[in-house]
Amino acid sequence: MTVGAPSADRHFAGLRPATFGTTVLREWQLALPLGLAFAALFLTPLLLLVGVSFFNDEKMTQPGLLSWLTFFGDPFNYKVIGDTLMLGVKTVCTTVLIGYPLALVYLDLSPRLQKILLFIIVMPLLLSVVVRTFAWIVVLGREGVVNSVLMGLGIISEPLKLLQTELGLVISLTQIEMPLMLLPLISVMSRQDPNLRDASAALGASRWRTLFTVILPLSTPGLVAGCLLVFASSTTAFISQTVIGGVRLIYLPLVIWQQSLVVYHWPLAAVASLALVISVLSVIAALSWVGRRSGGYING
């Protein structure tokens, strides 16, 4: 799909009147105020952060590589990076496992019910992450919903410890990140031609076979986009990680927060936050490469 685009654009530009050149110039300048704001408030701070990471001490007097060497010389930090990335992978798996079926159900609903379901899906996105995290404390706590239901049914006699465990955190993040998976999925899947599914059924394929040979391959771009968003968001979800995970489950955002706002060692905090960016973005780059390849395969 990326192959066809440039030639189509040249064609489009060729059809424009001759005055287009001057219009481009004038229109383009409208983006200057935002460009300046982003240069001053976004790009410069990020470049500065990279610069700060190359100082040895917290007073930032001696430049050097000591902060990088300290951070990456400590085996504990590798475990933290690994745990953070695994948390993202687990959350992506659970959101796909229950989100994808919901997207399939969405396709089969009447337009009216589709509207209601979409509203239900989008609604949590507009609720503060703090509220959604708090909701899971009420659900998973010692005297929370899950424990009182299970104890009421006599399935367990002692309350289960769900808060401050990775299981509880993954369950909570599944709900918190679910809209990010569903929106791109539904967007791509509702653009599929429904005739393809009908044709597959008419040719004798079971619904399972239609799912795995028709719907799933065609929805790959949406699935990849959803996985990217959920992964990026769950690995950096500081509030949910600290409140539900507690202090014993340590992920990179907590390390960044401790180094910068508790210990005030900015160079180390800068290294930790750059480690977060690099590790998360490299997984994202790998995933989107896979996505582009599969997208090309489908269209070609």
Segment contacting other proteins by CB under 8 A, of 66-74, 154-162, 235-243, 290-298? 235-243
For 167-236, the DSSP string reads HHHHHHHHHHHHHHHHHHHHHHHTTS-HHHHHHHHHTT--HHHHIIIIIHHHTHHHHHHHHHHHHHHHHT
Could you say whether residue 101 binds other proteins (CB under 8 A)? Answer: yes
Could you say whether residue 85 binds other proteins (CB under 8 A)? Answer: no
* 206 vs 213, beta carbon nearer other proteins: 206
Could you say whether residue 257 binds other proteins (CB under 8 A)? Answer: yes
Could you say whether residue 21 binds other proteins (CB under 8 A)? Answer: no
Could you say whether residue 156 binds other proteins (CB under 8 A)? Answer: no
Could you say whether residue 261 binds other proteins (CB under 8 A)? Answer: yes
Site map 178..197 versus other proteins, x via CB under 8 A: x----x--xx--x-------
Could you say whether residue 277 binds other proteins (CB under 8 A)? Answer: yes
Could you say whether residue 115 binds other proteins (CB under 8 A)? Answer: yes
Least distance to other proteins, CB of residue 95, Å: 9
In whole angstroms, give the CA distance from residue 252 to residue 273. 8
Could you say whether residue 253 binds other proteins (CB under 8 A)? Answer: yes
3-state SS string for 260-274: HHHCCCHHHHHHHHH
Least distance to other proteins, CB of residue 190, Å: 7
Closest listed residue to residue 132, CA positions, set 252, 243, 281 = 243
Segment contacting other proteins by CB under 8 A, of 74-82, 85-93, 125-133, 192-200? 125-133
Could you say whether residue 26 binds other proteins (CB under 8 A)? Answer: yes
Is residue 146 a contact partner of residue 167, using CB atoms and an 8 Å limit? no
Q: Hey, CA dihedral for 166, 138, 175, 261, is it positive or negative?
A: negative
Pair of tokens at residue 108: 């089969």
